[in-house]
Every structure is written in structure tokens, then in C-alpha cells.
Amino acid sequence: MAKKKSSRKIIIQSPKGMRDILAGDRSWWDKITKVFSELKDIYNFDLIETPVLEYAKLFETAMNKETDLISKEMYTFKTKGGDFLVLRPEGTVTTARAYIENNLSHKGQPQRLCYFEPMFRHENTQAGRYREFHQMGFEILGGANDSIYDAEVIQVIYRLLQELKIKNIVLKINSIGCRNCRPNYERRLKAYYSKYERELCADCKKRLETNPLRLLDCKNESCQPFKKNAPNILDKLCSSCSSHFKSVLEYLEELGIEYTLDSQLVRGLDYYDRTVFEIFSGGEGAIALAGGGRYDYLAEKIGGKPTPAVGGAIGVERIVDAMKAQEIILEPKEIKKVFFIHIGEVAKKKSLKIIEELRKKKIAVAEDLGRESLKSQLKLANKKGIHLVLILGQKEVYEESIIIRNLKTSIQESIPLSKLTDSVKKYF
């Protein structure tokens, strides 16, 4: 009997909201990585790497189950061993977990940690909102809950955006109070919104019961009119939160970092207390490039000791998109590379060894030894923007020499093979 053909075709497509980063985008990513790497040292943050998988329970304990991240966005799966794991959705909880697990509270306090890692959230995809994206995060954990650390986190993020020449940076900042003063505010907010309960969108009706602060974050058109007269959290802070916030703002003023007070900024991740902030580029309707805040209760909530902490993260894809949209020009990278060309079988045989000698001396060599014609090899060198070519033919093999040619000036010379490395370095 003839075998039935399988109708299941392989889908040649990356999962929705996830993308390949190819050579064409490399210069943006390289620039961002370089600036991140320099600033983390200059600002004295230690780079950490954490597993891409974490226990689902970690995030479920850290956050309210009604937050979008927990209720809708986590990639959760059961392993063959029966554990429930998630693809890491964000870096703050992970960093707090690593801080506790590795006893970093016994090292010098505070710990200044940073990361550059992929995150995964099952979100509705749209411009700037992906399901796999990368974050550069800066977190300060332990020590005192001094407001100067809030300013320092904002400062390093702000500086990173400045270094990347992002235009029209707008910092929005708010304080959402602490365990003592926030419940009072939430009661007032609830009382205010209850009057309009019937007119609220379905999500806000739920928020009214489960997470009243998020009522202020609703993007639904029909809920906007109620925001205007909602009680202002900044009027309801306790004296300790109020003076903490005031001094964060004073530090920012001292640093010359302009800010906009936004008393309705509450953030989606609900482990924050006191300072919360978001950074945008451009006016109304722009999407956030970075966000963060203080999270003094998080470590305790996930099983550690009380640990004051503050941090923030920058979305790398959004920075790349902003840099492209703003036509930010990257200085062209100087290509310090030679292109190796062979002519004929005898030369081809010798090529790999000569190339290997150059590479051992840390000289970058491009080649395509599978191509035979001189013309097509020269064409490829041009296409790659490499102006220095080495040409090895049969005559050169017998004479133990090689031609070094500058394609820009068309000047060339024949040099002994024994002097090849030094000669190439002179051209650089």
C-alpha cells in the first residue's frame, strides 16, 4: 500500500512577536552593547546572567495574580519532571531571586547589579511590543533605602539614552507611596471610581475590586474622563514618602535631569513602592523606552530578608527602533580586515595555512576559497567594503611571495611571505 503523504508542513517562520537579529541590524546592537558595557563599568555595576527559565511560582509570589504579566503574559510550561517553569518575563524579580539565593546580602551593600538579557511576554504584538525582547537593567539592592539610589538608577539610564543620542528624552516620575500610606489612597480612589462603576470598561470594573491603583493606568477611551478629577496620590503620601520623593527630585535637579511629575503614573508591575518612573522619547503617544522604580518589599515577598531596592530597565528593541526613526547616524566602523584571493589550484592548496598564520596573529581575514575566478573574488571584497586584498597565484607560491593591493588606490606591491603579517599591520 502506498504511504500516505503527511499534510503537516513545516512552518518556516519564527514564532509571532519573535525575530531574528541579522547582520543588517548588527551595527545598532553593537553600538548599544558597547555603550551599555562601558557605562556599567563607569557607573560601577556588576553584570549578572541568570537562567532563561525560572520557577513560575517565583513570579506568582512576587506579583498580584491579577497583573497582566501573571494573568496573561507568562510563557509557563510543565517539565517532564513535573515542575512549572516560565521563560523569564522580566529582570527585577530574577535579580532579587539571585541576590537572595547567592547570599549577596553578605557582600558589600548595596549590591549594584546589571543585566542585558532576553525577556519573554505573551503580549498582543504591535509596533515596539514584542514577545521576545531584550532589556538592559540596572538594580541597586540592599543597604539603606536612601533616595540617592533612586536618582542614581535614573541617572545611569538617562545617560545611556544620551550616549546613544536619543532625542527629546522625557522622564516622567511619580511616587505611589508605601505600605502605610498607599492603602488610604487606594480607599479614596476606590470610593471616587465607585460612583462611575457602571460606566467603566470591563477591565476597570475588575481593577476596582482587585487593584484600584491600575484604574489610573487605563488606556480605554471611555475611562479617560474619570481620571481628571481622581484624587491625587502626591497629596496623600505620608511624611516619610513625601520627603523621600522630594529628595529624589532634588537630586535630579542637582544633576540637571529634567523631569515631569505625573501623579497618574503607576506602572504595570505591582511590586513597586514609592518612586516610579518611565522614560520616553517624544511627545504624547510615544511608547516608553525605559521604566522602573523602588521595590523595597519584593525580596521579603519572595522569601528573603527585608531589602530596600530600586532599579529600572531599558527596552533594547525600542531603542533600536527609536535610533532608526530618529535617523541617528552611527560612526562608520573602520574595517580592519584583509580579503584573501587565490588564483589556481596550487595557490588554493597553500591558502588555508597562510590565512591561519594571519588569524593566529589576530588579523581578521575574509575569503571565499570556494570561488575560483579572480573577478568574482574581487567583487566580493568590494561588496564587503574591504579595501586591502592579498593575492596569491602560482607564481607567488613558487617565489614564496604574495601581492598586497589597496583597491581604493590601486597601488600594489609584492612582498615576501615571511614578512606578510608585519606588512599587513603597516597598512592598518
Footprint of ligand AMP (CB under 6 A) = 90, 121, 123, 128-130, 133, 135, 268-269, 288-291, 313, 315, 317-318
Count other C-beta atoms under 10 Å from residue 417's C-beta.
17
Residue whose C-alpha is closest to residue 171's, from 54, 252, 78, 277 = 277
Min dist CB 289 to ligand AMP, Å, is: 5
As measured in angstroms, the least distance from the Cβ of 104 to ligand AMP is: 21
Residue 129 C-beta: closest distance to ligand AMP, Å: 4
Count CB atoms within 10 A of the CB of residue 44.
11
Report which of 139, 52, 49 is spatially closest to residue 89, judged by C-alpha positions: 52
Q: Toward ligand AMP, which CB reaches closer, 143 or 268?
A: 268
Residue number with CB closer to ligand AMP (226 or 271): 271
The label of the residue with cell 590601486 reads: 410
Q: How far apart are CA 160 and CA 149, in angstroms?
A: 17
Query: Which three cell numbers, joined as nine digits, stand for 45?
Result: 555595576
Q: 139 vs 152, which CB is nearer to ligand AMP? A: 139
* Minimum separation from the CB atom of position 140 to ligand AMP (A): 16
Residue 192: CB minimum distance to ligand AMP, A: 27
Closest separation in Å from C-beta 292 to ligand AMP = 6
CB atoms within 10 A of CB 254: 9
Q: Half-sphere exposure of residue 292, counting CA atoms within 13 Å on the CB side?
A: 30
Q: Which is nearer to ligand AMP, 186 or 317 (CB)?
A: 317
Nearer to ligand AMP among residue 129 and residue 206 (C-beta)? 129
C-alpha cell at 307: 531589602
Beta partners for residue 339, in sequence order = 366, 389
- Strand 388-392 and strand 337-342: pairing? parallel
Q: How far is CA 112 from the centre of its chain?
A: 17
Q: Which is nearer to ligand AMP, 118 or 385 (CB)?
A: 118
